[in-house]
Amino acid sequence: MSETNIDDFDYFLPDACIARYPVTPRHNSKLLVFDKGELLSDQYFNLPLHLPTDSLLIINNSKVIEARLHFRKSTGGQVEVFCLEHGDNYPDVSTAMQQKGSVEWMCQIGGVKKWKTGPIELQFESNGQRETLYAVQLERQDSGFKIRFNWTDSNLCFAEILHLAGKVPLPPYLNRESEESDKSNYQTVYAKEDGSVAAPTAGLHLTEELFEHLRTKNIQAATLTLHVGAGTFKPIKSKTAEEHDMHAEFIEVRRELLNTLLEQHEQTRVAVGTTSLRTLESIYWMGVRLLQNPQLTLQDLHLTQWAAYTLPQDFSFSEALNALLQQFENEGCDQLLTKTSLMIKPGYRIRSVDAILTNFHQPRSTLLLLIHAFVGKDWKKIYDYALANNYRFLSYGDGSLLWLNK
């Protein structure tokens, strides 16, 4: 596996190019279309003009949780607790979010020096009543702190607690506090499954009006789930991509999606966002693992960072999905719940889609490495054009439709 120098993925991003707020309506955002080396500037509402009839969009329905909790010590000092992922005593995110009365969660802590021992409290209101959320440190681990939360109204589940007491975890590069409008703005219109601490931002441009517009060309959407972790903002500090420790994220894929992808295997497939692409490529490799070793179970299919580069490379996408479906049959289940740490970097061959809708990403990020895998060295041409033509960058910014270099 050849080394990837991160310096090759640096570029100057002026602060003025970072979008602090979305445009209204969202589908008025600019859309940069890249196909066979050619660039075209348009807006998202005209997306149907750039897709063949009967195309399929694959969207990530993960919902951003209000993961930032601002507690106060009895002495008055403030401590921020940032909920990262559910404790390992729950089978999945959904189960953890539905816990009532108490729950354990892995967290980052801001101001941890102010919180040595004992519980801290956060006051909030529910149905006009004053309620209290308590947090206690259980254990310090390499990935953060295991925290036990408990609260006074045991009829409330943890998802409701976060909604009432938490704040939207805006990306650090926005450099501002979250506002009431972010509760809807930093969420896709199809968000459903609680669990992300960052939005799958490519989908922020898609509105109900745009979906109606897409349906006039019989362009449909299929759903998967990847819960975006805080690691998505983790910069690459090493000299090469190969030295970087890729974060793991939870994915959920249902039988319905696999059937859709197999039944319409010749249609044009478009991943809405890097999270959708990463999930689709991950399930391909999970299917390959089953083809290589039929003794594996669905619980064994967690994908490590470099597994894709060591597995057999000659199976088709359909063969891999059929292997997964067969395993669903063998185990009598309808969904796959697992984690992926897949890193997509230069030299990786995309197998699942023909195009990707995606925003413009930070310099020196793993997301730029993924874009290189999609369009090759033309990523620089695309970004130079966007910068020269006043495109807005990052989460609340404009985006692009990139066709795969085949």
**Where residue 77 falls among pLDDT bands split at 50, 70, 90?**
confident
Average pLDDT score over residue span 171-182? 92
State the pLDDT at residue 236: 87
Using left for φ > 0, alpha for ψ between -120 and 50, and beta otherwise, residue 241 falls in alpha
Average pLDDT score over residue span 357-366? 96
What φ, ψ does residue 193 adopt, rounded to 5°?
A: -95, 110
Average pLDDT score over residue span 211-235? 90
Q: Indicate the average pLDDT of the chain.
A: 94
Average pLDDT score over residue span 334-349? 96
What φ, ψ does residue 257 adopt, rounded to 5°?
A: -65, -45
Burial of 283 per CB tally in 10 Å (0-12, 13-18, 19+):
buried
Answer whether residue 376 shows pLDDT above 80: yes
d(CA 304, CA 284): 13
Q: Specify the residue for token string 């991509």.
A: 241
Beta bridge partners, 29, equal: none
State the pLDDT at residue 144: 87
* Cβ–Cβ < 8 Å for 246, 341: yes
CA distance from start to end of the chain: 21
State the pLDDT at residue 17: 97
Answer whether residue 72 shows pLDDT above 80: yes
Average pLDDT score over residue span 46-54? 98
Q: In this predicted model, what pLDDT tens digit does every residue of 127-137 receive, in sequence order? A: 999 999 999 99
* Cβ–Cβ < 8 Å for 320, 284: yes
d(CA 109, CA 67): 12
DSSP assignment of 212-236: HHHHTTT-EEEEEEEE--GGGG---
Average pLDDT score over residue span 98-104? 96
State the pLDDT at residue 406: 73
For the ranges 77-91, 182-196, 307-321, 366-380, the lowest mean pLDDT is seen at 77-91
Domains annotated on the chain, with CATH = 6-63+185-403 (3.40.1780.10), 67-166 (2.40.10.240)
* Cβ–Cβ < 8 Å for 84, 229: yes
Answer whether residue 232 shows pLDDT above 90: no
State the pLDDT at residue 141: 87
Nearest to 360 by CA among 375, 347, 350, 349: 375
Greater model confidence, 102 or 92: 102
For the ranges 84-93, 112-121, 144-153, 359-368, the lowest mean pLDDT is seen at 112-121
**Where residue 235 falls among pLDDT bands split at 50, 70, 90?**
confident
DSSP label at residue 27: G
Length of the chain: 406
State the pLDDT at residue 337: 94
Answer whether residue 264 shows pLDDT above 90: no
Q: Specify the residue for token string 């206690």.
A: 136
At position 163, the amino acid (one-letter code) is: H
**Global pTM?**
0.94
Answer whether residue 187 shows pLDDT above 80: yes
Average pLDDT score over residue span 71-80? 82
**Where residue 371 falls among pLDDT bands split at 50, 70, 90?**
very high
Q: In this predicted model, what pLDDT tens digit does every residue of 104-140 receive, in sequence order? A: 999 999 877 878 778 999 999 999 999 999 999 999 9
Q: Contacts from 231-235 at CB under 8 Å and sequence distance 24+? A: 232/198, 232/367, 233/171, 233/172, 233/173, 233/198, 233/362, 234/366, 235/362, 235/364, 235/365
Q: Specify the residue for token string 């997964």.
A: 324
d(CA 310, CA 54): 35
d(CA 279, CA 296): 19
| CA neighbours closer than 13 Å in the CB half-sphere of residue 244 | 27
d(CA 333, CA 329): 7
Q: Specify the residue for token string 């008025």.
A: 28
Q: State both tokens at 378.
A: 């033309």
At position 397, the amino acid (one-letter code) is: G
Which spans in 62-203 are helix H?
93-97, 158-165, 182-185
* Cβ–Cβ < 8 Å for 31, 398: yes
State the pLDDT at residue 233: 67
